[in-house]
Amino acid sequence: MFAPVPRDHTYCFYRKTDKFGVQSDDTKICVVMVGLPARGKSLIAGKALRYLHWVGIPAQIFNVGTYRRMDTPHPAAGFFDPSNPEGERMRRAAVQAARSDLLKWFKEGRGVVAFLDATNSTKARRAWIHKCCHDKGIETLFVESTCDSEEIIMNNILEVKTTSPDYRGQDPEVAAQDFRNRIRNYEKIYETIDESEKSYTYVKLINVGSTVVINQIKDYISSRLVYYIQNLHIRPRSIWLSRHGESEFNLGSKIGGDSDLSVRGEAYARALPGLLKQSGIPAGAKLIIWTSTLKRTIQTARHLAAESGYEKLEWKALDELDSGVCDGLTYEEIAERYPQDFAARDEDKYNYRYRGGESYRDVVIRLEPIIMELERSENVIIVTHQAVLRCIYAYFHNMSQEQSPWMEVPLHTLIKLTPHAYGTEEQRFKANIPAVSTWRSKGSSAKHQASTDS
Amino acid sequence: MFAPVPRDHTYCFYRKTDKFGVQSDDTKICVVMVGLPARGKSLIAGKALRYLHWVGIPAQIFNVGTYRRMDTPHPAAGFFDPSNPEGERMRRAAVQAARSDLLKWFKEGRGVVAFLDATNSTKARRAWIHKCCHDKGIETLFVESTCDSEEIIMNNILEVKTTSPDYRGQDPEVAAQDFRNRIRNYEKIYETIDESEKSYTYVKLINVGSTVVINQIKDYISSRLVYYIQNLHIRPRSIWLSRHGESEFNLGSKIGGDSDLSVRGEAYARALPGLLKQSGIPAGAKLIIWTSTLKRTIQTARHLAAESGYEKLEWKALDELDSGVCDGLTYEEIAERYPQDFAARDEDKYNYRYRGGESYRDVVIRLEPIIMELERSENVIIVTHQAVLRCIYAYFHNMSQEQSPWMEVPLHTLIKLTPHAYGTEEQRFKANIPAVSTWRSKGSSAKHQASTDS
């Protein structure tokens, strides 16, 4: 009944068979970040890493600052002065250590995309990295972030002085001033990517993507990565996630289907506008409502749309995981009728696909455009289904494929996610309207199971 | 059983409910082509138009040359000399006529995206168009194509002198020389988009997308359009389409499922490598095989992959249209069990969605990444299913949504598509291995129906 997909032969975008497909079998891409301090390089690398993990591509960040901090945990700005030979020597040692770990990581076959997160501010440095990679059959993709908006830079400086380990425990004002001086030291030697480097594959993000320059993109993964990066923005916003209200099928412990809301589900739909307001929406903020095309999510968002006048969109891609031949059955019935496959799904829930239906991996594939659009968007509330919500949630919290399909998402609860530079803040708001629990732990086929958080 | 989706409220990307969704209700985008003659502007506009039609967005091209030809069908190069006042006056009249038809088209609510296809070579002209559009609430997206590769320009000149109505019936050598002179006249005044126009939304394609500059993209449709345009290439290639060989389910006249090939289907699988060779593959060309994740397409491509050593990819997005509760039934059974819905599907086959399954529109949504990847790729053979093949075919031949779901695609036939600048060339190769016909005409529930071309 369930068709297993071997894990190490699969990307989100497609199922690899003989080879990595559009990519050659031994695709290795080194993403080389380029930019002055406080230009969002680590933020971009961090988000891109999370995206790659989510689509199933093994990736890792090699941050030169981390290597440098092993020897010099709290350097003053003068350490970064290009005329300081001792600083220069130690910084070179750090980048060399990062480089050799990165090459080792590729050599051991541990992944497909490595990020070299550092300023890489000169043409000479970039040529050296390009040569090191090229000699080992590794493609390079340079990602430069430049910025002439004082406001954006100041916000980044404020962020850094409060979060960087370099300034831990220091007076914030002193830290900010020192950091400005550090930037000035880098500016002395900084060379932006230009014509002379047009043989490289690169993308330049100018003022957080308001202008984007893309040069010589050749392979599939780079193309997807660049499209992802060009959709990023840093305007403050939140994303709200909710399952539909309790449905008739939930009451009967049946999975799938396209049933109406139960009486209690309808009560949740009526409570949702208040719950959203209670969660806090910035004054004057615009919000868009996304639902699936199934009745239970449309009914759940009905009052929200009517009362608020917010725009509303139905996405087929937000429909529940298709359980194929098991659609309309209870877990008990599935366990009875297909005991072997029920056990096999428990074994690897992420990859197992219902006959005529989908796996979690399949759902991630069809959610990829949703994630792209979410990155482009500002405030969005998504009313969808348990499995789909798990996948979206896994993206924001960088959850593993082993963990996310088992995550508990109670009914009648609104989740508010607010992305920040270094992580996603989460708040949960319960409507206090009773509902059945639809959560099933590994190995269980219980009709209802007590929610762990109720 | 079938859930109708109102046609005028729908885009491919999502189902619109109250409004155009991520777009505001009255989204109007004027795509203004910019570039010297022979830079592929009409080609880009034509492909983008086809893409928009395919995803369900009403669009139209307003080609200034067409308006100019009404008065001046065969102008000599001197007509385009900026110091020729009569030529200047008539060319201005042509652009004004195109502009006013374009504004009228928007005013009458006839579409979302209009292309103004002309050289639009000066900043003054672009400022004028921007103002005309802005005054009417129309967004502008400037698409500039520049090129410094002599080879590409020469190829375009050769194309133009043989296809342009301006040179109909003329000596090709004289035409080519005149066209070169015309380009020189445009070069006298040509101004590329630069810093001074950074408040505009624009994309610059340099040397057919080897470098792409993207500026100030704001709305969803523009974002998709720009991603599409940046994936285009002009390297010669072909795309082969084939349905799987006859399956056990085909023999039993059942739809859907995941059955094995019949004996005759297996014979087609063995014949496919020879059929492909017979169709003509350029010497030394690389080819990639794409199949769905269902057994009948994988089995059909099996010998092809084994004999050729070509790379092979399985895409979930290429799986057959999901017929939900009707999966495994015959058309007769569907007509018996669900007579009303059977008729309703006949009424609007493109939009009707099987319960728990998909519509053709849904299939187009999930095929969109496939089309993007097809545009990026070179030679590809796609072994897939009837409905999916119809959707892909509709993209290449700009078929209407009314027509494409009824198109006949016989089993055991290889279709070779070769895209050219002004259309797609098609050849069909029959394996001469008998198979049932799975084609059903509107209103019929016949078990088998004689194929119209057999």
Examine the residue annotation and report whether B448 is marked as an active-site residue of this protein.
no
Please provide residue A324's backbone torsions phi and psi, each rounded to the nearest 5 degrees.
50, -125
Please provide residue A168's backbone torsions phi and psi, each rounded to the nearest 5 degrees.
-55, 130
Q: How many CA atoms lie within 13 A of B43 on its CB side?
A: 23
Between residues A445 and B182, the one the model is more confident about: B182
User: What is the tens place of the pLDDT at every residue in A62-79?
Assistant: 999 999 999 899 999 999
Residue A12 pLDDT exceeds 60: no
Q: Is A92 annotated as a binding residue?
A: no
Q: Please give the model's pTM, rounded to 2 decimal places.
A: 0.87
Q: In angstroms, what CA-CA distances link A103 with A34, A89, A113, A142, B275?
A: 19, 21, 11, 17, 45
Which of A204-208, B54-58, B77-81, B152-156 is predicted with the least confidence, judged by mean pLDDT? B152-156
pLDDT of residue B25: 53
Between residues B4 and B189, the one the model is more confident about: B189
How remote is the C-alpha of B278 from its chain's centroid? 27
Residue B240 pLDDT exceeds 50: yes
Query: Which pair of tokens denotes residue A111?
Result: 């992944």
Q: At what angle do helices B64-71 and B85-107 cross, to 10 degrees?
A: 130
* Secondary structure (DSSP) of A289-336: EEE-SSHHHHHHHHHHHHHH--EEEE-GGGSPPP-GGGTT-BHHHHHH
A92-109: average pLDDT: 95
pLDDT of residue B160: 73
Which of A93-102, B117-126, B311-320 is predicted with the least confidence, judged by mean pLDDT? B311-320
Give strand pairing partners of A204: A144, A213
End-to-end CA distance of chain A: 34
Best interface-test mutation with A: which of B206, B214, B254 has the largest number of A CBs within 10 A? B214
Residue B9 pLDDT exceeds 80: no
A chain contacts of residue B211, beta-carbon cutoff 8 Å? 198, 213-216
Confidence of residue B23 (pLDDT cuts 50, 70, 90): very low
pLDDT of residue A446: 60
In percent, the amount of chain B with pLDDT more than 70 equals: 93
Residue B294 pLDDT exceeds 70: yes
Contact at CB, B314 and A13, closer than 8 angstroms: no
Q: For residues B317 and A362, what is the distance between their CA atoms, to the nearest angstrom?
A: 9
Residue A92 pLDDT exceeds 70: yes
The architecture in CATH of the region A29-231 reads: 3-Layer(aba) Sandwich (3.40)
Contact at CB, A214 and B211, closer than 8 angstroms: yes
pLDDT of residue A8: 34
A189-203: average pLDDT: 96
B390-408: average pLDDT: 94
- H/E stretch holding A205 reads strand A202-206
A93-116: average pLDDT: 96
Q: Where are the beta strands (DSSP E) in B113-189?
A: 113-117, 139-146
pLDDT of residue A311: 87
For residue A454, the SS3 value is coil
pLDDT of residue B446: 60
Confidence of residue B438 (pLDDT cuts 50, 70, 90): confident
Q: For residues A413 and A426, what is the distance between their CA atoms, to the nearest angstrom?
A: 13
Contact at CB, B316 and A230, closer than 8 angstroms: no
Residue B277 exposed, middle or buried by CB count within 10 Å (0-12, 13-18, 19+): exposed
Q: Where in chain A is the domain with CATH 3.40.50.300?
A: 29-231
pLDDT of residue B130: 98
Pair B382, B240: CB distance under 8 Å: yes
Q: In angstroms, what CA-CA distances link B240 with B286, B352, B380, B426, B428?
A: 13, 28, 6, 10, 10
pLDDT of residue A146: 95
User: What is the tens place of the pLDDT at every residue in A105-154?
Assistant: 999 999 999 999 999 999 999 999 999 999 999 999 999 999 988 888 88
Q: CB neighbours (10 Å) of residue B57?
A: 22
**Residue B375 Rama label (left phi>0; alpha psi -120 to 50; beta):** alpha
Pair A105, A111: CB distance under 8 Å: yes
Q: Where in chain B is the domain with CATH 3.40.50.1240?
A: 239-430
In percent, the amount of chain A with pLDDT more than 90 equals: 65
Q: At what angle do helices A220-231 and A41-54 cross, to 10 degrees?
A: 130
Confidence of residue A162 (pLDDT cuts 50, 70, 90): confident
User: What is the tens place of the pLDDT at every residue in A439-448?
Assistant: 888 877 765 5
Between residues A326 and B22, the one the model is more confident about: A326
Q: Which of B244, B358, B385, B412 is catalytic?
A: B244
**Residue A32 Rama label (left phi>0; alpha psi -120 to 50; beta):** beta
pLDDT of residue B357: 82
Q: Which of A144, A320, A358, A368 is catalytic?
A: A320
Query: Which pair of tokens denotes residue B335?
Result: 């007509």
Q: Is A244 annotated as a binding residue?
A: yes
Nearest alpha-carbon partner for A33 in A65, A11, A56: A65
Contact at CB, A317 and B365, closer than 8 angstroms: yes
| Binding site members of B for substrate | 243-250, 296
Q: Where are the beta strands (DSSP E) in B64-155?
A: 113-117, 139-146
A87-101: average pLDDT: 95
A243-266: average pLDDT: 96
Residue B3 pLDDT exceeds 50: no
Query: Which pair of tokens denotes residue A83?
Result: 């005329």
CATH topology of domain B239-430: Rossmann fold (3.40.50)
A364-374: average pLDDT: 91
pLDDT of residue A447: 54
B381-395: average pLDDT: 97
Q: Is A248 annotated as a binding residue?
A: yes
Contact at CB, A362 and B316, closer than 8 angstroms: yes
Pair B388, B318: CB distance under 8 Å: yes
Name the percent of chain B in helix, strand, coil, to the closest 5: 45, 15, 40
Nearest by CB: A17 against B21, B313, B355: B313
A308-329: average pLDDT: 89
Q: Is A215 annotated as a binding residue?
A: no
Nearest alpha-carbon partner for A363 in A382, A343, A385, A396: A385
Q: At what angle do helices A85-107 and A64-71 cross, to 10 degrees?
A: 130
Nearest alpha-carbon partner for B111 in B25, B28, B225, B17: B28
In percent, the amount of chain A with pLDDT more than 70 equals: 93
Nearest by CB: A18 against B21, B231, B311: B311
Say which residues have a Cβ less than 8 Å from residue A361's Cβ, sequence separation at least 6: A5, A10, A12, A56, A350, A351, A353, A401
Nearest by CB: A313 against B22, B223, B327: B22
User: What is the tens place of the pLDDT at every residue in B247-284?
Assistant: 999 999 999 999 999 999 999 999 999 999 999 988 88
The angle formed by the CA atoms of residues A334, A340 and A346, to the nearest 5 degrees, is 75
Q: In angstroms, what CA-CA distances link B308 with A218, A309, B133, B287?
A: 24, 58, 54, 9
For residue A273, the SS3 value is helix
Q: CB neighbours (10 Å) of residue B119?
A: 22
pLDDT of residue A191: 98
Best interface-test mutation with A: which of B5, B12, B17 has the largest number of A CBs within 10 A? B17
Name the percent of chain A in helix, strand, coil, to the closest 5: 45, 15, 40
Between residues A51 and B161, the one the model is more confident about: A51
What letters, b where the CB count within 10 A reaches 16 and e where it falls short, cover B6-40?
eeeebbbbbbbbebbbbbeeebbbbbbbbbbbbbb
Residue of A nearest to B377 (CA): A22
**Residue B293 Rama label (left phi>0; alpha psi -120 to 50; beta):** alpha
Residue B92 pLDDT exceeds 90: yes
Please identify which residue in the block is written with the tokens 């394996």: B431
Contact at CB, B317 and A365, closer than 8 angstroms: yes
ipTM: 0.82
Residue A60 pLDDT exceeds 80: yes
State the smallest CA–CA distance between residue B272 and chain A in angstroms.
19
Pair A360, A350: CB distance under 8 Å: yes
How remote is the C-alpha of B19 from its chain's centroid? 26
Nearest by CB: B213 against A22, A213, A322: A213
Which of A158-167, A304-313, B57-66, B353-362 is predicted with the least confidence, judged by mean pLDDT? A158-167
Residue of A nearest to B359 (CA): A316
Examine the residue annotation and report whether A320 is marked as an active-site residue of this protein.
yes
Nearest alpha-carbon partner for A387 in A256, A294, A272: A256
Confidence of residue B450 (pLDDT cuts 50, 70, 90): very low
Instruction: Compute and round to an integer the Cα radius of gyration of chain B.
Output: 24
Query: Which pair of tokens denotes residue A87?
Result: 């600083």
pLDDT of residue A145: 96
Nearest by CB: B327 against A216, A257, A356: A356
Nearest alpha-carbon partner for B179 in B199, B152, B158, B198: B158
Between residues A259 and A12, the one the model is more confident about: A259
B chain contacts of residue A258, beta-carbon cutoff 8 Å? 355-356
Residue B19 pLDDT exceeds 60: no
Residue B87 pLDDT exceeds 60: yes
Q: Which amino acid is at B367?
A: L
User: What is the tens place of the pLDDT at every residue in A326-352?
Assistant: 989 999 999 999 888 888 888 999 988
Residue A193 pLDDT exceeds 80: yes
pLDDT of residue A161: 73
